[in-house]
Amino acid sequence: RMRRWPTITARSSLFRLFARRGSSMPFAEETKLLKNPAPALRHDSICSTIGSTPLVKLQRSAPPGVNIYVKSEFMNPMGSVKDRLALGMIEFAEQHGLLKPGQTVVEATSGNTGLGLAMVCASRGYPFVCVMSEAFSIERRKMMRFLGAKVVLTNPAHKFGGMLQTLLALKEKHGWYWPNQFENEANAWVHRQTTGPEILQAMEGLKLDWFVCAYGTGGTIKGVGQVLKDKSPHTKVLLCEPSNAPVVYSGIKTEYTTDGSITKESHPVFRPHLLQGWTPDFVPKMVEDSTEQGAHRT
């Protein structure tokens, strides 16, 4: 048998009772509140909000005697570390005459770099075209289009090589600017300028034993790794990838052609995995550079 709701008169009486009880205790305005120590600043552009993300200590996930800090890159405006990459590549291209005012920017991406570039390009006045596989998330496509970008989808069966061939065809046909995130040294440069120094500043006075990082383009692992090798040489760098796609761990390198495009064949040990944006089906050049500089692989 269903319970009946109290009558209007009964509900009104209950409300008056709760209201009287609440008002009998004065509100304690002086109650202590944990506040973010970072200042609330005024920005003239969304681009200046990129970076300076906090290091947060994991309170209950680390084993006893081990301190683990997480660099909270999700606090960048479009939610990932790739915002840094997008700003770095565009600013480098602007300052070195590689990108003309109003020129269209085109890039192949699983989505996070595309989101960052869509935001930066919208802010700076550049049209942006993203080439991505249909296998990647619909939410990223919607967000890029919301920011004014155009999204060109490719067949998932052709993997990253298919995305790249479509990009090169569009670039040659229209004269668009291609940052080439996988080989652009500005990718690692922005992390040498920002991410690496931020980590050292936040960890000042503490021993940093390991820096653990996954990879997409390899810019973070290369740039931060170079800073740590110079300023904190005792810190070991650990490169991670999915267990079912140990592309770097296999030791088999990717052969690149003279135009910067990769071989049409996928890496022989690559298998599809659940981590979108991590571990493509080839070894990025910057990842190869990092392993040659001493990064550990797992």
- Residue 237 backbone dihedrals phi, psi, to 5 degrees: -110, 125
The CA distances from residue 42 to 46, 48, 284, in Å, are 10, 10, 38
Q: Which of 101, 58, 76 is nearest to 212 (CA)?
A: 58
Q: Are 46 and 77 in contact (CB under 8 A)?
A: yes
35 in catalytic set: no
Record the tokens describing residue 91, joined without a space.
């600013």
3-state SS, one letter per residue, for 51-86: CCCCEEECCCCCCCCCCCEEECHHHCCCCCCHHHHH
For residue 292, the surrounding DSSP H or E stretch is helix 285-292
Catalytic position from the list 32, 35, 57, 82: 82
The DSSP output letter for 126 is: -
| Active site members | 82
